[in-house]
Amino acid sequence: MKVLIVGSGGREHAIAWSAAKSDKVDKIYCAPGNAGIAEYAECVPIGAMEFDKLVAFAKENEVDLTIIGMDDPLVGGVVDAFEKEGLRVFGPRKNAAILEGSKAFSKDLMKKYNIPTAAYENFDDAEAALAYLETAKFPIVLKADGLALGKGVLICNTLEEAKEGVRSIMLDKQFGSAGNRMVIEEFMTGREVSVLSFVDGKTIKTMTSAQDHKRAKDGDQGLNTGGMGTFSPSPFYTEEVDEFCKKYVYQATVDAMKAEGREFKGIIFFGLMLTPDGPRVLEYNARFGDPEAQVVLPRMKTDIIEVMEACIDGTLDEVDLEFENNAAVCVVLASDGYPVKYEKGFPIEGLDEFKKHDGYYCFHAGTKFDGDTIVTNGGRVLGVTAKGKDLKEARANAYAATEWVTFANKYKRNDIGKAIDEA
Ligand code: AMP
Ligand code: GLY
């Protein structure tokens, strides 16, 4: 079959790599893709938000299955656009992608269906939000309602800081229209875990757990980024935590969406915090995590196309979702200065080394071809991933492999997976 993947980051590279392993797949296209994805897929210059062009391309090229990697097109209704033309597509419709697209929606859903999350209030006017802060406890968490590239969350330690935050989100529109509404919620403490899952509308199958490192600098300092590295599994995601979430979170979320007339098919990504009072949902995403996909998919034994088709057909209960009993670590190589200001266009050397070693992967996040040379083309450039028999071995392997590649202004965190030592 012919598959079209929509997106251009490390996550989409991991999806393309995974799809290329499937016996069912003869041809992969990626829109718009990148220089790494081009190894498995024919990259076509169509943007992820150009729904008409994507649909036309899928029709013309008789694409059998389109996989949407990114949040913006999902929240914007790309799945509806494909379905309207009778095309098969993996991902939630617009009315279900709202689970990620509106934090106010997801908080109200959790409250209504007793899914454990931080206490909160939603606001659609700044005056009311400012008044609410006067009686609040600090630190407190402010969240722009809509998509904001993972940056719409502010943790404020004082009343003054929080007032400033409300003004910048709701009045100055720091995150654009994402800040037309906002959530103000209780500050929680604990370790974070990402659990991704496949959902077919009624059945949910969770994947192996992972942990991201969102801050730009070592020791979780610096600004929030898209993610500077991941490891999988999380040693903190114990059987007890899994039992709790199976009972109160996972199926409950799928059932709640169904009950609301918003049947969810695709990936639900549960951002969990393991608080002293038990696991709580921090956020939902409606797609694979990036760079979570880069450590989860290399460990997945089941054919990704088989699972995705089962999600579309509502037969996920018949699929045995299996993962290897090992570990993986991904260290992101970024352009120095990310996430603020950085230069691009530098040649990348050493990529061939990954072809010589089993269990090592270099997923491209921001690269492109300049003639025959692969050059840097983004803040996050590469996701260097390695497997190992356990987390420590995987981490040592991944860090060794980060030395194989060189480019000007190469930057990485040196403490990805440090938490492993505390497990
Ligand atoms: P979100 O986009 O909702 O996952 O938030 C981004 C990051 O902000 C999370 O990964 C947490 O590190 C942090 N965060 C979000 N909500 C809370 C909260 N209620 N308490 C503490 N930290 C939070
Ligand atoms: N790595 C976090 C995310 O994909 O949202």
366 phi, psi to nearest 5 deg: -135, 85
The lowest-confidence range among 30-34, 72-76, 144-148 is 144-148
377 phi, psi to nearest 5 deg: -145, 30
Atom of ligand 1 at shortest range from CA of 185: 19
Q: What is the pLDDT of residue 320?
A: 97
Q: What is the pLDDT of residue 330?
A: 98
E strand segments, 235-326? 265-275, 278-285
Give whole-number Cα distances, 250 to 53, 194, 205, 210, 422, in Å.
35, 13, 9, 16, 27
Split at pLDDT 50, 70, 90, the class of 423 is: confident
Which ligand sits nearest to residue 70's alpha carbon? 2
Summarize pLDDT for 246-258 with one digit per residue, the tens.
999 999 999 999 9
Which part of the chain has CATH 3.90.600.10? 327-422
Q: What is the pLDDT of residue 183?
A: 95
Summarize pLDDT for 321-361 with one digit per residue, the tens.
999 999 999 999 999 999 999 999 999 999 999 999 999 99
Contact (CB, 8 A) for 387 and 295: no
| Multiple choice CATH, 119-186, 3.30.2390.10, 3.30.450.150, 3.40.190.10, 3.30.1490.20 | 3.30.1490.20
191-318 under CATH 3.30.470.20, yes or no: yes
Pocket test for ligand 1, best of 103, 283, 284, 292 (most atoms within 8 A of CB): 283
148, pLDDT greater than 90: no
259, pLDDT greater than 90: yes
Pairing outcome for strands 373-376 and 367-370:
antiparallel
Which part of the chain has CATH 3.40.50.20? 2-93
Does the beta carbon of 271 sit less than 6 angstroms from any atom of ligand 1?
A: yes
166, pLDDT greater than 80: yes
Split at pLDDT 50, 70, 90, the class of 186 is: very high
Which ligand sits nearest to residue 290's alpha carbon? 2
Which ligand sits nearest to residue 292's alpha carbon? 2
Pocket test for ligand 1, best of 282, 284, 290 (most atoms within 8 A of CB): 282
Contact (CB, 8 A) for 344 and 378: yes
Question: Distance between terminal CA atoms of the chain?
Answer: 43
Does the beta carbon of 274 sit less than 6 angstroms from any atom of ligand 1?
A: no
Split at pLDDT 50, 70, 90, the class of 401 is: very high
Does the beta carbon of 71 sit less than 6 angstroms from any atom of ligand 2?
A: no
288, pLDDT greater than 90: yes
Atom of ligand 1 at shortest range from CA of 189: 21
Does the beta carbon of 118 sit less than 6 angstroms from any atom of ligand 1?
A: yes
Residue 118 C-alpha to ligand 1 middle, in angstroms? 10
How far is Cα 235 from Cα 106, in angstroms, rounded to an integer? 27
Q: Which of these, 378, 373, 371, 396, lies nearest to 386 by C-alpha position?
A: 396
Residue 266 C-alpha to ligand 1 middle, in angstroms? 23
Residue 30 C-alpha to ligand 2 middle, in angstroms? 20
112, pLDDT greater than 90: yes
Q: What is the mean pLDDT of residues 123-138?
A: 94
Q: What is the pLDDT of residue 150?
A: 74
Query: Which CATH superfamily groups domain 327-422?
Result: Phosphoribosylglycinamide synthetase, C-terminal domain (3.90.600.10)
2-93 under CATH 3.40.50.20, yes or no: yes
Does the beta carbon of 30 sit less than 6 angstroms from any atom of ligand 1?
A: no
Which part of the chain has CATH 3.30.470.20? 191-318
Split at pLDDT 50, 70, 90, the class of 312 is: very high
Contacts by 343-347 with C-beta closer than 8 Å and gap 24+?
Answer: 343/408, 343/409, 344/375, 344/376, 344/377, 344/378, 345/370, 345/375, 345/376, 345/377, 346/375, 346/376, 346/407, 346/408, 346/409, 347/373, 347/374, 347/375, 347/407
How many beta carbons lie within 10 A of that of residue 294, not counting itself? Answer: 35
Does the beta carbon of 290 sit less than 6 angstroms from any atom of ligand 2?
A: yes
Average pLDDT, the chain: 97
Burial (CB count within 10 angstroms: exposed 0-12, middle 13-18, buried 19+), residue 344 = middle
Q: What is the mean pLDDT of residues 205-224?
A: 96
Whose CA is closest to atom 4 on ligand 2? Answer: 289
Does the beta carbon of 150 sit less than 6 angstroms from any atom of ligand 2?
A: yes
Q: What is the pLDDT of residue 254?
A: 98
Contact (CB, 8 A) for 47 and 32: yes
Residue 142 C-alpha to ligand 1 middle, in angstroms? 9
413, pLDDT greater than 90: yes
Using a cut of 0.95, tell me whether the model's pTM lies above it: yes
Contacts of 401 (CB under 8 A, 6+ apart): 353, 354, 357, 360, 362, 384, 386
